[in-house]
Amino acid sequence: DFLSSEECDYLVGLAQQLEEVKDTSASAQRWSVGADVETTDSVVSRVAKRLHRAAYVPEFHAEALQLARANADSGAAGAEVLRHDGKDPARAARTATMVIFLSDVEGGEMVLPRGSKCTSIEDCCARTDGRKPLRIPARKGHAVLLYLRTVQGTKRDGAAVYGSCPVRQGTKWTAQRWFTVGRSGFAAKHAPDEVYDKVLS
């Protein structure tokens, strides 16, 4: 697992202490972890540093860590339409994203259409034939790293389109970090990760 069960629970608890980001277009509740929290909170700092090392992205090339919650009773049950995070001009600086599942839930899979040719999130989540898309179960502590650009870095990777299936039962918690091509202005300095640094030394 990318995160321990205790780290997942800690991030879920942290969301309760933050101000919710109001977005009427979102299908899930969201909270943004500020640079001050990421710098001073040892658990968040350790998790963030691990994210950057996994993605091979410098620490200052990122947006704020986002925490999200959705359940079967929420609007659209947390389903997220198919999208490419680098397609919107306002998000063109994004080069990769990493999603961590913080809870076990029935449904709520992350879905990547790939060669399935499904055209909507409803189609992608319902398809059961031989051309079904890649669906990644929401399992606590598991993470998905998705590069949004081709190896050359000059074009969007068309295979990086993704979305989320509706939650059928339970509460789905996720943490997500978007990485950027250059410095984003989000300045959080992370303390050394003793466990990881010892592995490297």
CB atoms within 10 A of CB 142: 18
pTM assigned to the model? 0.86
The string of pLDDT tens digits covering residues 139-151 is 999 999 998 877 6
What pLDDT score does 199 carry?
A: 54
- What is the CA 3 to chain-centroid distance, rounded? 13
What pLDDT score does 201 carry?
A: 45
What pLDDT score does 151 carry?
A: 67
Q: How far apart are CA 179 and CA 51, in angstroms?
A: 10
DSSP 159: G
Cβ atoms 145, 98 nearer than 8 A: yes
What pLDDT score does 24 carry?
A: 60
What pLDDT score does 60 carry?
A: 87
| Element holding 53 (H helix, E strand) | helix 42-55
> Within the chain, which residues score under 70 in pLDDT?
24-26, 74-79, 81-82, 84-92, 130, 151-154, 193-201
User: For residue 142, which of 168, 171, 110 has the smallest C-alpha distance?
Assistant: 110
